[in-house]
Structure 1
Amino acid sequence: MTSNIGTSDRTLRIVLGAALILMALLSGWPVFEASLPRLVAVLAGVVLIGTAAVRFCPLYRVLGLQTCRH
């Protein structure tokens, strides 16, 4: 598994992932009162942080994208 996520992309994924998780769990916004939107936001946040941690995005591989230098 070759890395395909660069430093800027990785940082953005961590920030957006953490923001999604925190908003879903702590914001109190009406949209997150229902279980499904909260679950989707938390799962999306976890996926973003997970792909940043391993520096590999399967969707990038399928689409032939790469944001890191080799």
Structure 2
Amino acid sequence: MNNVGGLDRVARIAVGVLLLVLTLLGVIGVWGWIGVVPLATGLLRSCPLYKLVGINTCPLK
């Protein structure tokens, strides 16, 4: 079920890509690999944490 939409999705993808690029360039440490999480949730349009707390930013039902 999709629960990530619109601006939320764009922000997740942008933050995820930024963290991964900075990690690959050596600007930030290994913790930057956490960027995989927002990137994946943005691309898949589904966030397990949102599901647990009942948040839905996707306008589609």
- TM bin, normalised by shorter chain, reads 0.7 to 0.9
Q: CA deviation at 1:45?
A: 1.0
What is the alpha-carbon distance in structure 2 between the residues aligned to residue 7 and residue 60 of structure 1? Answer: 15
Runs of 4+ in structure 1 over 4 Å off: none
User: 1:24-52: CA deviations, max 9, x gaps?
Assistant: 121435xx2xxxxx1x321x211111111
What is the alpha-carbon distance in structure 2 between the residues aligned to residue 28 and residue 13 of structure 1? Answer: 20
The number of residue pairs the alignment matches comes to: 60
User: Which consecutive unaligned segments of at least 5 residues does structure 2 have?
Assistant: none
What is the alpha-carbon distance in structure 2 between the residues aligned to residue 16 and residue 26 of structure 1? Answer: 15
The residue number in structure 2 matching 1:57 is: 47
TM-score between the two structures when normalised by the length of structure 1:
0.75
User: Which consecutive unaligned segments of at least 5 residues does structure 1 have?
Assistant: 33-37
TM-score between the two structures when normalised by the length of structure 2:
0.85
What is the alpha-carbon distance in structure 2 between the residues aligned to residue 41 and residue 28 of structure 1? Answer: 9
The residue number in structure 2 matching 1:9 is: 8
Answer 1 or 2: which has greater helix percent.
Answer: 1
Aligned Cα RMSD in Å? 1.4
Matched, 1:41 2:32: yes
Q: Secondary structure at the residue paired with 2:4?
A: coil
